Amino acid sequence: MIGGHRRSESKPAWWDAKNGRAMLICRISDKKQKDGVSLDAQELAATEYARGAGLEVVAARPFQESAKKSALRAEFHAAIAEARRQNIKHLVFSFWDRITRNFTDAELLEEMIRDDEITLHIASGRTVLHAQSDDSEFFMFDINVAQAKQDNRLRRRKTIDGMEQRCRNGWYPSKPPWFYWQQPVLDEDGRPKRRGSTVMGPTPEGRRLARREMELHLRGFSLGRIRETCLEEGLVPARLIPRYHCSIIDARLKNSFYAAIPNPHDGFKSQFVWRGTWYEAKHEPIFSAEEWERLRASFGERTLYRKLRHDGLFAQGPLSLTCAEPACGCKITYSPKTKPNGVVYPYYRCADGRRVHRGRGEPQVNVLERQILGQMLSAADAIQITTDFAEAVARGLNESHKAAMVAKARSAEVYRAEIRSLEEKEDRLFDRFDTAEIDRDTYDRQLARLRAEKQDRFERLREADGEIDAGYLETAESVLELAKSARSLLEARSPAEQREFLERLVCNPRLDGRSVRFEFRKPFDVVVKMRGVEGWRPQRDSNPCYSLERAVSWAGLDDGDQGGRLL
């Protein structure tokens, strides 16, 4: 529907003679855009459109906010709520992508439009969505939201790729900690380039302050006394005094960005962590490696020691192990040993943070990574089933599904009949009100009751229709196919790929001495149980074949989760 109609012209279908009140909603995503003219340009375009369309602008709401996630859009939802409170029917945006980049907000707006609560205007293109708009126009709205969402994905990926490359080049990719800054790279004429920067610092006053904080902490001063001493000695720059808290001191003294860290291959280098990965850095540290070791020891922690090329398959993530000893339960840490010949042995051992093993005089147990991986790969043997077994389970699932379809179809037909009966009651109720047989209060009260009952039947009908879906059968079939060939598929994979498969197969791994214990995730735990059950029958509710059906549902696998994704 095209806007831009003045009051003197023939009125478009969206025109409401009783309510021409409009709110202009202008949004920017980036804080850096606040210094620009984007919001002003959006407001000007929306204002000119509203004037041409004959709308009365009663409010303008400019704000900076990401449209990626609905739950984080406080400003947007506050503007919508204000429009509702003030009976503002027309919401004017400058461009499609200024509205939303998520379908949650798109559904909210569509519902309000179809209920004739609001009319949505897009100044560019002079497009209007209103209660009488054709479904094709709402489809175009969905397409524009999807395009905005995809544009956001592409920008995010390009940004992350660029930042990761900066990390590999040795430069921190975002705003660095206190006393460091990003220095733009200059071109041949000495002018800042549009892209590219290096981390500079630390500032002289920052170096003095951080080193003084370190010295006081190593002498046993509390964080509060360190703060008071540095303030008394005038070491804190005036602009930072309002934000100079004990938490800032604690974070700085624990931040490896300020320190030189031992590297097992190249001596001592500056390093930083970004998105969970450690990178060698080119910025100048404040603390030496020796000072950093003493500083970490003063906090009662071990020196931070990371190998950039190999963090261990089970050092972190869902397959990180814990000690199986009930009295201990500590994390199994990755503790590689480098021999004089340069060979690195990837060992794992219990951290023994509660000193259970040492208290008993037990020797430290070091287990090689390949031994842990080999024991976990036995899970593939545990789910291995024969072709005949898989076909029998599939037949049982199909039979149970057919019975479920019949039962659910009957339930759905009952709900449809009840909905038709309630609609007939609504018609008769209106006839009674129209003939003045009942008053308005009685009519409203009984109408609300009938509609509540009808809504309840609609919900039950929706549940019944949803439960008839056969998507889980495809997923169960994929699980069975995977179970038939899991071991052969794994043998051709790299250790990292084998671990990724195991993450989806097992959980809660524990190390008992040199033995690894674990549990199976759904639905593979059902497959393992079926292998140990004799005399099972492929009928619903009588044996594990129905359990597999339920386990597929419990595991949260939908139609798109094919068995191949597990590898």
- Whether the CB-CB separation of 548 and 523 falls below 8 Å is answered with yes
Phi first, then psi: what are they for 504, rounded to 5°?
Answer: -95, -10
Q: What is the predicted pLDDT for the residue at 263?
A: 57
Return the sign of the alpha-carbon dihedral for residues 14, 19, 22, 23: negative
**Token pair in block for residue 353:** 């943070």
Kindly give the interhelix angle for 495-505 and 471-491, rounded to the nearest 10 degrees. 150
| Burial call 124-152: b when 16+ CB within 10 Å, e when fewer | eeebbbbeebeeeebeebeebbeebbeeb
Q: How far apart are CA 91 and CA 50, in angstroms?
A: 10
198, two tokens:
């290096």
Are 144 and 96 in contact by the 8 Å Cβ rule? The answer is yes
pLDDT at 335: 85
Residue with token string 């004799």 = 534
Question: Listing from the earlier edge strand, what are the strands of the sheet with 119-122?
Answer: 56-64, 21-28, 90-93, 119-122, 127-129
Please report, in tens digits, the pLDDT of each residue of the chain (567 residues total): 434 444 445 788 899 889 999 999 999 987 766 655 688 899 999 999 999 999 999 999 999 998 888 888 999 999 999 999 999 999 999 988 899 888 999 999 999 999 999 999 999 889 999 999 999 999 999 999 899 888 888 888 888 888 888 888 888 888 899 899 888 887 777 787 777 788 888 999 999 999 999 999 988 888 999 999 999 999 999 999 999 999 999 999 988 888 887 655 555 678 788 887 878 888 888 998 888 888 888 876 544 444 433 468 888 888 889 999 988 989 898 888 877 666 778 899 998 888 889 888 898 899 999 899 889 888 877 777 666 665 665 555 565 556 667 777 777 788 788 888 888 888 888 888 888 888 888 888 888 888 888 888 877 777 766 554 554 555 566 566 666 666 666 666 778 888 887 887 788 999 999 999 999 887 777 777 766 654 444 444 444 444 544 444 444 444 334 333 333
Host H or E run for residue 199: strand 192-200
Q: Name, in order, each residue with C-beta under 8 angstroms of 385's C-beta and a sequence gap of 6 or more.
A: 480, 483, 484, 527, 530, 531
The CB-side HSE value for 136 (13 A sphere, CA atoms) comes to: 1
Separation of alpha carbons 396 and 398, rounded Å: 5
- What pLDDT sits at residue 564? 36
Question: How far is residue 184's CA from residue 191's CA, in Å, rounded to a whole number?
Answer: 9
Residue 111 pLDDT: 93
- Secondary structure letter of residue 174 according to DSSP: S
Token readout for 147 is 């395009």
Structure tokens at 386: 């024969």
* Bridge partner list, 23: 59, 91
Reduce the DSSP state of residue 178 to 3 states and report it: coil
Distance CA 477, CA 489 (A): 17
CB 296 within 8 A of CB 304: yes
What does the pLDDT read at residue 426? 85
Cα end-to-end distance, the chain, whole Å = 49
Question: Cβ distance 504 to 566 under 8 Å?
Answer: yes
Name the fold adopted by 21-153: Rossmann fold (3.40.50)
Q: Class for domain 169-309, per CATH?
A: alpha beta
Report d(CA 560, CA 314) in Å as an integer.
28
Give, for 389, the enclosing helix (H) or strand (E): helix 387-434
Give the pLDDT confidence score for residue 396 in this predicted structure: 56
What is the C-alpha to C-alpha distance for residues 16 and 92, in angstroms, rounded to an integer? 15
Domain with CATH 3.40.50.1390 in the chain: 21-153
Q: Tell me how far apart the alpha carbons of residues 78 and 85 are, in angstroms, rounded to a whole number.
A: 10
Q: What is the dihedral of CA 141, 142, 147, 151, to 10 degrees?
A: 100
In the chain, CATH 3.90.1750.20 covers 169-309
Cα separations (Å) of 388 from 291, 333, 401, 528? 66, 43, 20, 16
Q: What is the pLDDT of residue 539?
A: 41
